[in-house]
Amino acid sequence: MEWSTANAATTVRHALQGWAFNVSRRDTVEAPEEVRAALKWLAGNTKPVSALEEPQEARALMNRIAQKLDGKPAAAATVKRKRSVLFNVMEYAVERKALVTNPIPGLKVRNPKTVRAIDKRVVVSHKQAVRLLGAVRQQEPAGPRQVAFFGVMYYSALRPGEAVNLRKADLNIPQEVWNEDRQRWEFAEGEDGWGELLLWESAPETGAAWSETGQRRDRRELKHRAKGETRSVPCPPQLTSLLREHLRQFGSNADGFLFRGVREAGQLSESTYSRAWRKARKSALSADEFASPLARRAYQLRHAAVSTWLNGGVAPTQVAEWAGHSVAVLLQIYAKCIAGQEATARKRIEFDTAWRDAA
């Protein structure tokens, strides 16, 4: 089959991403004829890596990764991430003797300014969070299975990959007993409902084609932690009740994982919980709230948890430990979400001014 220029860019991307750059797939899955033709064309029409030793070639590459497919500028965070990846690719090329030196450090480029601080508009209040969790619960048949999943992000600041990977054995929470008179589950006498979750592994969704196991998710160490390190986070009574309810109704799968879809034997997929979250926002929020950035992603429930801890007066060192951040990064990211700082600063200024006037 000869190379066709029709839909060339799309075919080239498909050939590179689906086969040339995918080690496991290119060795196990036979490429379609069109892909084989595209790869053959690329082999004869691609510049050698050594061309990047010319500054103009390296700069052209740096400029290109700062753009989206449509030619418009990419987001600052995307550019920063791609430059980091490109730097490591060049280091690998040096290691493989394809380049003499890494050309990236020698380029004078302006680093895009990235915004790390959380936008206060995305952080839900407690009332809004309760409404959203209630809206998830109303989505039969899948919703009730996901309430506690969103709950661990809101009440204990888990990342989605950590929440998906939560097992029954990771829960250290009190039992509930049935109160026949009140017709409800309650904590046993002497229990305040507080517990803890022990996190030791995360399972971000990478896609089966790119994972090391061929599964949709790759299990790995916690973010900012060495392999085998754990992180303990508090489990407040509200979350304890959600988790106990989940265990009574749905239990865990054969591997001990708590959260899965109605038809999913394995871990809960990102597409499943994202769909439920979109529906919950539409149902629980006002038209203005829905149109705003408020909790647009389920991940932002974690921001609400961390903000609640900080505004509640918990020491930043403790919050950083619970959230899995360094203190410096924590304060940089959540500085705008700490309520009361501006009012306190104004009072200090007023006091200082009054002191000078009196003098």
> What pLDDT score does 146 carry?
97
CATH number of the structural domain 123-299: 1.10.443
Give the closest residue to 310 by CA, choosing from 289, 336, 349, 287. Answer: 336
Report how far Cα 41 is from the mean position of its chain's Cα atoms.
38
> What pLDDT score does 340 carry?
55
C-alpha–C-alpha distance, residues 38 and 15, integer Å: 7
Written as tens digits, the pLDDT of the chain (359 aa) is 555 555 688 888 888 888 888 877 777 778 888 888 888 888 888 999 999 999 999 999 999 999 998 889 988 888 988 999 999 999 999 999 999 999 999 888 777 766 578 888 999 999 999 999 999 999 999 999 999 999 999 999 999 989 998 999 999 999 999 999 999 999 988 899 999 999 986 655 555 555 565 555 456 555 555 566 789 999 999 999 999 999 999 999 888 999 988 876 677 888 899 999 999 999 999 999 999 999 999 999 999 999 999 999 999 999 999 998 889 889 888 877 765 555 655 665 565 555 555 55
Residue 349 CB-density burial (10 A; 0-12 exposed, 13-18 middle, 19+ buried): exposed
* Contact partners, residue 88, CB within 8 Å, separation at least 6: none
Q: Where are the domains of the chain?
A: 8-95, 123-299
A 10 A CB-CB count for 143 gives 19
> What pLDDT score does 214 carry?
54
C-alpha dihedral over 266, 271, 276, 281, to 10 degrees?
Answer: 150
pTM of this structure: 0.75
> What pLDDT score does 17 carry?
83
Give the closest residue to 174 by CA, choosing from 158, 186, 191, 160. Answer: 191
> What pLDDT score does 29 carry?
77
State the Rg of the chain over Cα. 26
Residue type for 337, please?
C
> What pLDDT score does 276 carry?
96
* Contact partners, residue 178, CB within 8 Å, separation at least 6: 184, 185, 186
> What pLDDT score does 22 carry?
82
C-alpha–C-alpha distance, residues 24 and 17, integer Å: 12
For the record, the structure tokens of 117 come out as: 């601080």
Residue found under tokens 């990235």: 114
Helices 316-323 & 327-334, crossing angle to 10 degrees?
90
C-alpha dihedral over 81, 84, 89, 92, to 10 degrees?
Answer: -140
A 10 A CB-CB count for 103 gives 22
Query: Buried (b) or exposed (e) across 257-276, using 16+ Cβ within 10 A?
Result: bbbbbeeeebbbbbebbeeb
C-alpha–C-alpha distance, residues 233 and 308, integer Å: 14
> What pLDDT score does 182 carry?
92
Helices 126-137 & 300-311, crossing angle to 10 degrees?
150
Say if residues 196 and 232 touch (Cβ distance below 8 Å).
yes
Q: What are the two backbone dihedrals, phi and then psi, of residue 195, each rounded to the nearest 5 degrees?
A: -145, -160
Residue 235 CB-density burial (10 A; 0-12 exposed, 13-18 middle, 19+ buried): buried
